[in-house]
Structure 1
């Protein structure tokens, strides 16, 4: 046996025995968290990590070595890679039969076996793992230092010096501001640096941030994290080690929090919690694992806040916890001998779940997702409450855009057809099926227009014994392979899939009739205050991450946040009036102590069809920011809704014929241009509209096509004079229209009045919206508002006939 094989066997022995300890500790984690402090918890994780790095076990008489079965055949084994490892292609190792070597005692030819391959694969995996993290650390540090400057502000330096003195820190730590960090952190093993983002902090917040990081420095947490990463690298094949490393990071943060708030009152703890929450930022830069960043990750935020306000005394003592470790080794050995799988569903359970989804499916048509949010929320509570868990019901009520329901007057969701059921764990069942959409028509009065894939997670309510829907989504990609989607999302957010299965929330076609579409992916991670999403491009039933070009010109995938705390709110919004006007907005709203808005930050990205990338749009960002400011002002909510209604109507009417549509609406300066009286709202809005014809040549225009087709149909019957007249009118129109091909038309100016009924909550009734346009009075005195035609522009058929008529009239005049 080679040295590598011997080492690998010992690593396997250590990994298997230590996994029992880790597994049982994780099972007992709620009890341990209640009884023992975070400081002693992470010390136990550190002891286990050190144990994982010692590749031998005490000798036990009769101990059976770990063996790997010999497989006398060629095998193909993909190399597992650490999450986030981006390679142009993943190579498969395919061993081949060696050339026979004949010796006097040889009776068989040795083949390459699985036992030969696994030690090599393990070593390659460990090297790749460490290379990935250390390369990431080097790249991160260089990038952070490249876009940085040494802090020279005397007040900040004085605060830092004072905090070092209070914390008893003697090391030389350089204070630096960097554009490449989103939260404060200390990094560096030999020459530590304290990195601050370009964010303005209050004096109180800055002191807390500095104390927090200096506690990390005092605890030597960067070195502790190094031990954890090396242990993870050696045991990269063991999923429990990944979980242990995550729990260790969480406990490191909570131990730091506990020390900082020890002996303080509720007000101080509240202030410290607000400081942590303020670290939530609109963007997400990849941190290095070898750092102590102030914002420890959204997944641990809820635990940290609970820990901060936990005033109950918790026991310390490494002896007690070592006794627990010793005890769970025995328990773990017994557990390892057993094991059970989730029981199969009974026929009765299947019938109950089918009935649940049948009843829920009949209610889908009663919830209209495109109604105002408060209306949809009431519809959800009225029609869905008997079928959803309280968790899903509150989630859909708070954000109705996530709910299932009706999106158009026709077709509409009629029922749910169940295809399969699978028990994924002891209390959850995954159901796959289809939402059947129907419309009027067919032999029985209804025709099926689509069957959209849908996934439901069902669980039994412990108090009533009834099955309820705990999660649900329906779209083309609902059946998309979860493992493949998770792996793709983890390339941009390592935590993807850590809370729940990622899934596709919604899709939008890029071009009518095209298979290519945009898909919004929920990343299956988050915490008490925030969830994360990203966008994908879907084509031929496959998904790929969408690319974004930021304001600095960098191109790559982008992670969007959704969530809110007491003083901060971050939201994602998608606006898809047409493929050429497909925008994605990320906005953040911050409030001060009086609940007044102190800051609004907006990033808008517009889809570039040619480059196949979402590009940062500064003008759209500013416009959306202005509209958001108005919408958040209670006095302007109704005006914003009227303005949006007009914009949507204009885009809908322009889109069939125009591209690159730009619409800027302002409230007309005349008196009483905006009124709300007796439940009716009215606004007079000035519109500036720029757009470019979709037609790329004159013959694409229905009017020109009508002229040419009519001339060809009657050419043989015309005299020379009539033919000349027809060609003259065609040439005149071509000359006039050619100036509009391929470039924006001159800005169109118009004044509109928008009228709609409004309820007591300030929401307009979209069914009552009416549009009027200001034109010269038919009586010849001044201007008046006249109803806007619906549609505003002639149809292609009408334009085609008008072209025919123009040539026909010219021919008739020439024949007289």
Structure 2
């Protein structure tokens, strides 16, 4: 889970910078872009903020494992002179990153739960208090507007005391609600055109995505800037859709309707709805646009392609960042004063064969060594994220630890192979050995799982010599090709 949180942090920071650049460009550019163009750009950025992933490079990495006895098939030669990091199999405790991760998760869950509860309560009240409109003129207006906009969905029309502003609500069962106040038939016709334009543009789905993104990135203030800009762009786009059908007198009536509705509105509305006049801070600019008969705003196709390409670059850049593995398998980054030492060279007759613990088409999800955030003491591998794969002893030895207690490493095994060598196998689904048991090379000792502080099924594998951590790829050179 820490990996996901760190990916979200990186993505949120990059998206925040891009959002500020876009905001500055829209504000100071001499060109006036259509509201729908802005919508597409902001939605592209919004979608990119929900794609925190990294790329795993796969390579076939197979070995035939024997049942019980030692095998010489698909084994690797131990390479002497590897770099070591003064550590040992110290089992780290939960650190500040774990605390921040749970704080982020708690905040996200709380915000989402609160918004969904408010939306549900508001929807129920609207449904209970609303009366379906049976007036022939209104029903005819709805049918004509739906036909003009190419809407085949049966959208119901209600009147209610529960809202001061007209709004469209309901992702799967959309309905338009009109307040119970006196409005001219021409005003209601303009309002219906506006609200149905929201449906045609799938704005309710966009607002739902917006709710999720603001909940996930609640710690980033720029997220709320994106939310504000997107909602304004959606309203302006629907205004433009209405005004294409209007002359100047109808524009004045539409502007008057927006002002009257904004003055009547008192309470807040749920995010997953499309109110007619919700943002009072942009009301003056909105009315100026309505009354302006200038339809020369640039469609901005070139800009839209460029901006969306920039968003795509952001996503790919974040995807190419190696997955930060700061979980139970990590320890503090060694200080600059820490000297990495090399094991003494050995003669060829001292070389011994090792067997990699997992067979199959493997991926390295977190390599050994210093990454963006910490020092990873081992190697994380997975076979297509599958649980239950057999884990075999890399060499013969004695099991010195077989821990199934609740721990950051989850279920893990430590084997002493003699000559100062030990290996650790962590996050196992279950163990098949006990402490003090003698095991042969290739013998099944556990199964791949996701216990402890883990985000998915994988094996965390460490090698130690004389109390110092070794890089597993020095023992298994073929693993370097998987990086």
Scaled by the length of structure 1, the TM-score of the pair is: 0.33
Q: 1:20 aligns with which of 3, 8, 17?
A: 17
Distance, in Å, in 1 between the alignment partners of 2:220 and 2:5 is 13
Distance, in Å, in 2 between the alignment partners of 1:33 and 1:294 is 29
Q: 2:217 touches 2:223 (CA, 8 Å); kept in 1?
A: yes
1:117 maps onto 2:114 in alignment: no
Q: Where does residue 314 of structure 1 map in the other structure?
A: 297
1:180 maps onto 2:177 in alignment: no
Q: Where does residue 195 of structure 2 map in the other structure?
A: 213
Distance, in Å, in 1 between the alignment partners of 2:247 and 2:20 is 36
1:127 maps onto 2:124 in alignment: no
Give the C-alpha shift of residue 262 in structure 1. 2.1
Q: 1:169 aligns with which of 138, 147, 151?
A: 151
1:229 maps onto 2:195 in alignment: no
Q: 2:31 touches 2:298 (CA, 8 Å); kept in 1?
A: no
SS in 1 for 2:262: coil
Q: Where does residue 278 of structure 2 map in the other structure?
A: 296
1:160 maps onto 2:142 in alignment: yes
Structure with the larger strand share = 1
Distance, in Å, in 1 between the alignment partners of 2:140 and 2:2 is 57
Bigger relative contact order, structure 1 or 2, given CA contacts below 8 A and separation 6+?
Answer: 2
- The alignment covers a number of residue pairs equal to 284
Q: 1:253 touches 1:296 (CA, 8 Å); kept in 2?
A: no
Give the C-alpha shift of residue 261 in structure 1. 0.8
Residues 283/328 of structure 1: CA separation in 2 closer, same or farther (3 Å cut): closer
Question: How do 1:101-500 and structure 2 match up within 5 A?
Answer: 110-262=92-244, 264-282=246-264, 284-310=266-292, 311-324=294-307
1:53 maps onto 2:50 in alignment: yes
Q: Deviations over 1:8-67 (max 9, x none)?
A: 11111211111111111122231358421110101111000100000126799xxxxxxx
Residues 216/32 of structure 1: CA separation in 2 closer, same or farther (3 Å cut): farther
Q: 1:181 touches 1:197 (CA, 8 Å); kept in 2?
A: yes
Give the C-alpha shift of residue 243 in structure 1. 0.8
Give the C-alpha shift of residue 109 in structure 1. 7.9
SS in 1 for 2:211: helix
Residues 129/160 of structure 1: CA separation in 2 closer, same or farther (3 Å cut): same
Q: 2:40 touches 2:304 (CA, 8 Å); kept in 1?
A: no
Q: What's the RMSD between the two structures over aligned residues? A: 2.7
SS in 2 for 1:35: coil
Distance, in Å, in 1 between the alignment partners of 2:54 and 2:88 is 37
Distance, in Å, in 1 between the alignment partners of 2:131 and 2:312 is 51
Give the C-alpha shift of residue 324 in structure 1. 4.3
Q: 1:14 touches 1:57 (CA, 8 Å); kept in 2?
A: no
Give the C-alpha shift of residue 161 in structure 1. 2.5
Gap runs ≥5 in structure 1: 61-104, 332-816
Q: 1:129 touches 1:233 (CA, 8 Å); kept in 2?
A: yes
Question: How do 1:600-749 and structure 2 match up within 5 A?
Answer: none
Residues 329/29 of structure 1: CA separation in 2 closer, same or farther (3 Å cut): farther
Give the C-alpha shift of residue 301 in structure 1. 1.2
Moved more, 151-160 or 27-36: 27-36
Distance, in Å, in 1 between the alignment partners of 2:13 and 2:51 is 13
1:44 maps onto 2:27 in alignment: no
Residues 171/271 of structure 1: CA separation in 2 closer, same or farther (3 Å cut): same
Distance, in Å, in 2 between the alignment partners of 1:296 and 1:154 is 29
Q: 2:164 touches 2:266 (CA, 8 Å); kept in 1?
A: yes
Q: Deviations over 1:557-599 (max 9, x none)?
A: xxxxxxxxxxxxxxxxxxxxxxxxxxxxxxxxxxxxxxxxxxx
Distance, in Å, in 2 between the alignment partners of 1:207 and 1:39 is 22
Give the C-alpha shift of residue 193 in structure 1. 1.1
Distance, in Å, in 2 between the alignment partners of 1:156 and 1:266 is 23
Q: Deviations over 1:70-102 (max 9, x none)?
A: xxxxxxxxxxxxxxxxxxxxxxxxxxxxxxxxx
Give the C-alpha shift of residue 143 in structure 1. 1.2
- Structure number with bigger Rg: 1
Distance, in Å, in 2 between the alignment partners of 1:32 and 1:223 is 30
Distance, in Å, in 1 between the alignment partners of 2:261 and 2:137 is 21
Give the C-alpha shift of residue 313 in structure 1. 1.0
Q: 2:32 aligns with which of 32, 35, 49?
A: 35
Scaled by the length of structure 2, the TM-score of the pair is: 0.55
